[in-house]
């Protein structure tokens, strides 16, 4: 299996997946509407690898265009990363999220079915577990009630793909449940470049560090955690990307629907992140404690031992490396890809 299509491949996670796939000998084709990403990321991936990417600007809602690309490029498997992903925004704009994420996925799957491409690796999320009763979370935990529309879209997309396999066992579906990707490529050439005010913690921290934003909003200090701030399982984006390569490597051996947590298995609070960032990078982060944000939960971290056992995947980077690499990217690219 050589020709791999990445939807949303110019984004933060997609660009790192593209780089790791190229370095592992795969041919990479990217399909992205560039609504929250930049084609510059792919140019830099090509520079870093010395290899080329076939890029198509398009929206997965355009079923016919997706079908044309699948046929033209003789795609053998799809890594589906294209989605809107901000929890807070999803609470404010649920219809936008349901339409883009779910209708877009239905469009993509319809195109794949028509062409006969029945291998998909899906960029899912820990949000499908809802507010778990206990931690660490394993893949056999029941899916909970997600606490926000973004989480519901991921849960529904998982169900759609599972139902598709039930109807046609020729489909191979791998659901990769990400925890919290942070960090950047060690080169400092590709990283997270949010449009406007960041919705996620780390780009917000780095933009405070570089002086683009005055302080970090810490939403809630009354959670049931060691310091009152929310605890999450942060994973280096390069380790996450390598998880996708391992999924492709093992696709022929897997059958049916497989679920894997991609995480480190360690939980860190918002203030842990702030203090560790300050320590490893020597930069002070100003922050203010504010009220809780709707849709957030106390604590979540994973057991990722299944991915190690079945796929041979492990994390190589700890929290300090994640925060050093995040800062290197931001320092080298103060305005992201728009230099």
Active site residues: 150
Which residue from 315, 3, 15 is spatially nearest to 190, judged by alpha carbons? 15
d(CA 243, CA 262): 7
Which residue from 244, 311, 308, 241 is spatially nearest to 77, judged by alpha carbons? 244
DSSP string, 261-310: EES-S--EEHHHHHHHHHHHH-----EEEEPPPTT--SB--B--HHIIII
d(CA 241, CA 20): 6
Q: Tell me the chain's radius of gyration from C-alpha atoms.
A: 19
In contact, 147 and 199? CB cutoff 8 Å: no
Write the CA distances from 319 to 5, 127, 169, 232, 264, integer angstroms: 30, 21, 40, 12, 9
Phi, psi of 9 (to 5 degrees): -75, -5
**Three-class SS of residue 2?**
coil
Which residue from 160, 162, 192 is spatially nearest to 174, judged by alpha carbons? 162
d(CA 66, CA 73): 11
d(CA 286, CA 95): 35
In contact, 61 and 37? CB cutoff 8 Å: no
d(CA 153, CA 329): 30
Angle between helices 201-209 and 270-281 (to 10 degrees): 40
């Amino acid at each position: 299996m050589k020709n791999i299509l990445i939807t949303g491949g110019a984004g933060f996670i997609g660009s790192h997946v593209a780089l790791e796939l190229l370095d592992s000998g795969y041919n990479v084709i990217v399909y992205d509407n560039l609504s929250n990403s930049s084609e510059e990321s792919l140019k830099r991936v090509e520079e870093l690898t010395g290899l080329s990417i076939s890029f198509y600007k398009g929206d997965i809602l355009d079923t016919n265009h997706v079908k044309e690309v699948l046929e033209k490029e003789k795609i053998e498997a799809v890594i589906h990363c294209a989605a809107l992903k901000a929890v807070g925004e999803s609470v404010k704009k649920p219809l936008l999220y349901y339409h883009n994420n779910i209708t877009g996925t239905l469009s993509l799957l319809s195109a794949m079915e028509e062409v006969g491409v029945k291998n998909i690796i899906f960029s899912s999320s820990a949000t499908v577990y809802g507010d778990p009763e206990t931690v660490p979370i394993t893949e056999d935990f029941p899916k909970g009630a997600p606490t926000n529309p973004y989480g519901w879209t991921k849960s529904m997309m998982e169900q759609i793909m599972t139902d598709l396999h039930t109807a046609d066992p020729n489909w191979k579906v791998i659901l990769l449940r990400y925890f919290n990707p942070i960090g950047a490529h060690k080169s400092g050439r590709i990283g997270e470049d949010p449009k406007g005010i960041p919705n996620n913690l780390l780009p917000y921290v780095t933009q405070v560090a570089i002086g683009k934003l005055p302080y970090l909003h810490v939403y809630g200090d009354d959670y049931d955690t060691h310091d009152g701030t929310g605890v999450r399982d942060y994973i280096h984006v390069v380790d996450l990307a390598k998880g996708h390569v391992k999924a492709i490597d093992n696709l022929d051996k897997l059958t049916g629907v497989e679920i894997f947590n991609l995480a480190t298995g360690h939980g860190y609070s918002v203030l842990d992140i702030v203090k560790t960032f300050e320590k490893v990078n020597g930069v002070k982060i100003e922050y203010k404690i504010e009220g809780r944000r709707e849709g957030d939960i106390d604590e979540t971290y994973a057991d990722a031992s299944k991915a190690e056992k079945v796929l041979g995947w492990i994390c190589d980077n700890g929290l300090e490396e994640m925060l050093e690499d995040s800062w290197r990217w931001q320092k080298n690219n103060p305005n992201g890809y728009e230099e």
